Structure 1
Amino acid sequence: MTDFEPTIIAFVCNWCTYTAADLAGTSRLSYPQNVRLIRVMCTGMVDPQYIIKALLEGADGVLVSGCHPGDCHYINGNYKARRRIKLLKEILPQFGFEQERLRLTWIGASDGIEFAEVMRELVAQIRDLGPNEAKLKMVI
């Protein structure tokens, strides 16, 4: 499995994490190309169904990342996301997925360096977990 490269779906807040990703790019900071960003207006808009669907369709990991608590442009969207992710992590094993395949982070708009670091850490963590079992079943 040394050649395994995970596919990670990242639901990122338009106002903070997406801006940090843009800053990382314009600052020429390198981070793995394994991450596919999906820009949402707020992490509070990320329905748990989207996360489960991404995993069932073969994503090796899912990241939800937005504004720091208390800094949400939509008042309490990140608090809503935090509650949803906590509950979702509890039921992921019922779907046959490790909890470590889902991560929630808070990355501010000026944190381009932190964005690149989180992406590298996440890719390494998912690489250590190995491929998503759903992806293996799809190939067979």
Structure 2
Amino acid sequence: MDRTETDFEPTIVAMVCNWCTYTAADLAGTARMIQSPNVRLIRMMCTGMVDPKYVIKALLSGADAVLISGCHPGDCHYINGNYKARRRVKLLQEILPRFGIEQERLKLTWIGASDGNEFAATINELTKRIKELGPSAAKSTMVI
């Protein structure tokens, strides 16, 4: 049974920093901020530990988008992890079209621990954008 675009609900994987974005996500949840339920959080110690192959695997295995989010540059608990993440995301965005995946399906943000409202807004905005893009064509071509 094919889903129409009107009932399409994207699956978004969020790889988030333990020290900042995960704390902001927890704050947004405990404050009962309205946020889209489409996101599955993966708690990482640092965004610098996000391996590009995990991003590609998530997108090819059914995720409609991936969000990588961590501490603001200069505030990383591991000194330069967020700079590593920024370089990797830039490279990934160049590579993704080769897999038939739009660059907009990968997003990098910096969200501090006290920014629960920014986390909720980011999630809602990303979900809206991915709904507009529609289902990822990459997952329909994958044979698992």
| TM-score interval, smaller chain | over 0.9
Q: Within the alignment, does 1:95 sit opposite 2:110 as a pair?
A: no
Q: Identical aligned pairs, as a percentage?
A: 76
Distance (whole Å) between structure 2 residues aligned to residue 42 and residue 7 of structure 1: 22
Residue 15 of structure 1 corresponds to: 19
Alignment of 1:45-64 (within 5 A): 45-64=49-68
Q: Which amino acid aligns with 2:16?
A: V
Measured against aligned partners, the alpha-carbon deviations of 1:99-135 in whole angstroms (never above 9, x if no partner) come to 0000000000000000000000000010011001133
Distance (whole Å) between structure 2 residues aligned to residue 55 and residue 116 of structure 1: 22
Residue 138 of structure 2 corresponds to: 134
Q: Could you tell me which of 57, 69, 77 is aligned with 1:73?
A: 77
Distance (whole Å) between structure 1 residues aligned to residue 89 and residue 139 of structure 2: 22
Distance (whole Å) between structure 1 residues aligned to residue 100 and residue 76 of structure 2: 32
Measured against aligned partners, the alpha-carbon deviations of 1:12-60 in whole angstroms (never above 9, x if no partner) come to 0000000000000111101010000000000000000000000010100
Query: Once the 2 structures are TM-superposed, how far is the Cα of residue 138 of structure 1 from its aligned partner?
Result: 5.3
Q: TM-score, normalised by structure 1?
A: 0.97
Q: Could you tell me which of 13, 22, 28 is aligned with 2:32?
A: 28
Residue 83 of structure 1 corresponds to: 87
Number of aligned positions between the proteins: 139
Contact 2:16 2:42 in 1 (8 A): yes
SS at match of 2:139: helix
Q: Which amino acid aligns with 1:9?
A: V
Distance (whole Å) between structure 2 residues aligned to residue 138 and residue 74 of structure 1: 36
Q: TM-score, normalised by structure 2?
A: 0.94
- Provide the aligned C-alpha RMSD in A: 1.0
